[in-house]
A and B are shown apart, each in its own frame.
Chain A
Amino acid sequence: MAIRGRAHKVGDHIDTDLIIAGRYLVTTDPVKLGEHLFEDLDPGLRQRIRPGDVLVAGENFGQGSSREHAPLALVGAGVAAVVAASYARIFYRNAFNNGLLLLECPEASRAVQDGDELEIDPQTGEIRNLSRGEVYRAKPIPPFMQELTQLGGIIPYVRRKLGLEAS
C-alpha cells in the first residue's frame, strides 16, 4: 500500500535524545512518547505532523542512545516513513523491529523541501514528489531486512524460528 503524506525536514545527525528526550523515557506507550517527539529540536514540529506524514532527514539519522523509544515515538506520532541520506545502526535495527519503514535516499534527502507532498511505494522504494514532479529511488532494502519486514519484525521472526508459529 502506498504511503502519501507531507514531508517534514530535519537536518544531519539528529540523535535519539532529540527524537525523544531522556526525561520522557518513563513509559513504553508509543502515543505518550509521540506527544513529546522532537520537543528539544523544534517545539512546534510535533503539532505540524499529521498521521501518515513522512519525515525527511539528512545523514546519520538516529545517532546516539539505543533507546527503542525513538522509533516508537515516531510511530506514536503517526509518522508513516522516514527518508534519510543515511542512518545510525542501532536506530536502523530498532525501526525495522517496530515496523517503521526507513528508506535510504540521499537524493530525496537533498531535493525534498519542507511541506512537499510525497508518495512512497514501500515495495519498489520509489519516492514521488507530487509537489515538484520529481521521482527519487531509494537504495534497495537489504534482503534480510525485507524478510524481517515481511514477517512483521524480529518478534514474529523469532517465533517462527522457535516453531511457535506455522510458517
Chain B
Amino acid sequence: MGMTITEKILASHAGLPKVEPGDLVECRVDMLFANDITAPLAIQQFERIGVDRVFDPDRVAFVLDHYSPSKDIASAEQCRITREFVRKHGLPHFYDVGRAGIAHVLLAEEGFVAPGELFVGADSHTCNHGALGAFATGVGSSDLAAAMATGRLWFRVPPTLRFVFRGTLPRWVTGKDLVLRIIGDIGVDGARYAAMEFAGPVLQQLSMDERFSITNMAVEAGAKNGIMEPDEVVLDWVRPRARRPFQPVYGDPDASYAAVYEYDVTDMQPVVSAPSSPANVVPVTEVSGVRVDQCFIGTCTNGRIEDLRQAARVLAGRRVHPDVRLLVIPASPRIYRQALEEGLIQVFLDAGAAVSTPTCGPCIGGHMGVLADGEVCVSTSSRNFIGRMGHRGSKVYLSNAAVAAAAAVAGKLVHPDEVVREPARV
C-alpha cells in the first residue's frame, strides 16, 4: 500500500521509510513562525526551556499582523516583546509595520514555504500553505516554542480525506465557494484530526490565489492540514520565490484514503456561510435581500490580488451603498502595490471604500472595523463565530470577494449578477 502526499512528507521529515495514519512521529521542521498575538507566549515558553538560541535563525519568522499597527497600549506592549526577542537573537526574518503583511500571504510570497516541506505556525490558518504541496499546520505557542528550540515537533499521522472537483466553474464561483461548500457538507468537525487533500481537473482552472483560499480554510472543517499536489502552476509560482532548493512530493497511485468526495462544480452557485458557523452554507440567492451594514474584503483567506480584482470588477463605476461601510485590506505590501499599479485602489476609493495597510484587524474583531450589536457584515474572512468580529449580537456572512463587493453596492446580500452583468472568468 502506498502513501498519500501528507504521509510521504511526514515520513521523510521523520526519517522513516513509511508511516501510517495513527503513527506518532517526530519530524524535522523546515520553517516556523509566530504572530504578534502568539509570539509573546511562545517567547515566554522558549525562555522557560532555557536554551540560548533558536535552532536555526534562518528558519524562524515573526510577523506582526493581528493587532499591528498597535491598536492600544496593551497590544503595543505585546509587539514590543517580539521586537526585543528578535533583536536579542539577531533573527533576520522579522516583518514589522510597513513591511508586514498577513503572515500566511506574506510568507508564501516571500518564498519561505516550498513543495515537500514541513511548515508550522502559531496560527491556525497555517494550513494555508498546503496549496504549495507542503505539509503545513497550525500549533499553539508552547509547541512552537518547542520547535523553535529543537527544530523538531511530534505529530500524529492523520488519515487523508480526498476531495475531487470536476466540471467547469460557473462565473462568480471561486475557490472560496468550493471550500465553503465542502465545509457545509461535512461540518466543522468533518475532517477533525484528518488531512484534507484537494484534487481534480478544476484545480487547474484556479490561480494560486484561489487555491490558497481552499487550503486556508481546511481548519474550519477541523483538519490538521489541507494539501494539493504541486502541479506546473505551483512550480511556476514557487521557482522564482523559493529561498532553498526543494523536492516536490506526490502521493502514490495506490495510496489509501479514509474517504473520497467527488464534486461536479458545473451547476454550483456562489455561496455564503450564514451566522454563526462556517458550516452554515447556503447559496447566496437563498439569503438574498438581507440588509448589511459593513462589507470586508481582505484576510489570509481572500485578501490577495485575484480577490481585489474580483471586487474591482463589481465596484468599477459604482458606489458603495450609503448605508454600508466597505473595508478593503490588501493582505501584503506587495499586493497593495500591485493593486495600486493596476488601478484597483483608485476603483475602491472612487466607490467610497476605506483602504487600509495590511492587517488581520477586523477578522478577529480587534480593530479597523469592529461591529456593533445587531450589525451585519459580509466578510471574505474564514470565521463567523458569535462575537468574532465584534459585539456578540453582530452577525457575519462569509463569502467570496465578488459577493462582498456586490453586497456593498446593493446594501443587501445579492448574487453578483444582480449588480454587474459581465463574465468574471474569461
> Which residues of chain A have a CB within 8 Å of any CB of chain B?
13, 15, 17-18, 21-23, 25-28, 39-41, 59-60, 63-69, 72, 86, 88-90, 93-94, 97-98, 144, 153-155, 157-159, 161-162, 164
Contacts and interface: CB of A to CB of B under 8 A. Distances in A.
Interface of B: 24, 37-38, 40-41, 44-45, 48-51, 66-67, 72, 74-75, 77-78, 122-124, 138-143, 145-146, 149-150, 154, 188-189, 192-193, 219-220, 222, 224, 277, 364-366, 370, 383, 385-388, 392
B387 A18 contact: yes
B41 A162 contact: no
A154 B49 CA distance: 9
Contacts of A69: 37, 41
Contacts of A90: 124, 138-140, 219
B72 A26 contact: yes
B365 A21 contact: yes
A66 B188 contact: no
Nearest to A158: B146
B386 A93 contact: no
A158 B149 contact: yes
Nearest to A22: B364
Contacts of A40: 386-387, 392
A164 B50 contact: yes
B51 A162 contact: yes
A154 B45 CA distance: 9
B387 A21 contact: yes
A63 B188 contact: yes
Nearest to B387: A40
Central interface residue in A72, A86, A88, by most chain B CB within 10 Å: A88
Contact of A13 (B38, B40, B189): B189
A45 to B, nearest CB: 13
Nearest to A164: B50
A28 B108 CA distance: 28
A68 B45 CA distance: 11
Central interface residue in B38, B123, B138, by most chain A CB within 10 Å: B38
Contacts of B224: 89
Contact of A162 (B75, B143, B149, B365): B149
B38 A17 contact: no
Given A22-B366, A86-B189, A164-B51, 4 more contacts: A22-B364, A26-B72, A144-B154, A162-B49
12 contacts: A13-B277, A15-B385, A17-B364, A26-B77, A60-B188, A68-B142, A89-B192, A93-B143, A153-B142, A155-B145, A158-B146, A159-B49
A61 B383 CA distance: 16
A28 B386 contact: no
A58 B43 CA distance: 33
A164 B138 contact: no
Contacts of B123: 66
A97 B385 contact: no
Contacts of B37: 25, 67, 69
A97 B189 contact: no
Contacts of B192: 60, 86, 88-89
A21 to B, nearest CB: 5
A27 B370 CA distance: 19
A161 B51 CA distance: 12
Contacts of A22: 364-366, 388
Contacts of A93: 139-140, 143
A89 B142 contact: no
A43 B101 CA distance: 34
A68 B388 contact: no
Contacts of A27: 74, 78
A60 B41 CA distance: 24
Nearest to A26: B74
Contacts of A60: 188-189, 192, 222
B296 to A, nearest CB: 14
B387 A17 contact: yes
Nearest to A92: B193
Contacts of A21: 365, 387
A153 B74 CA distance: 28
B392 A161 contact: no
Given A27-B74, A28-B40, A17 B383 contact: yes
Query: What 8 pairs across the A-B complex have the smallest Cβ distances?
Result: A40-B387, A22-B364, A26-B74, A94-B140, A97-B142, A66-B124, A40-B392, A60-B189
A154 B142 contact: yes
A154 B41 CA distance: 14
B272 to A, nearest CB: 19
B40 to A, nearest CB: 6
B150 A18 contact: no
Contacts of B142: 68, 94, 97-98, 153-155
A7 to B, nearest CB: 22
Central interface residue in B138, B141, B150, B220, by most chain A CB within 10 Å: B141
Given A28-B41, A144-B154, A97 B143 contact: yes
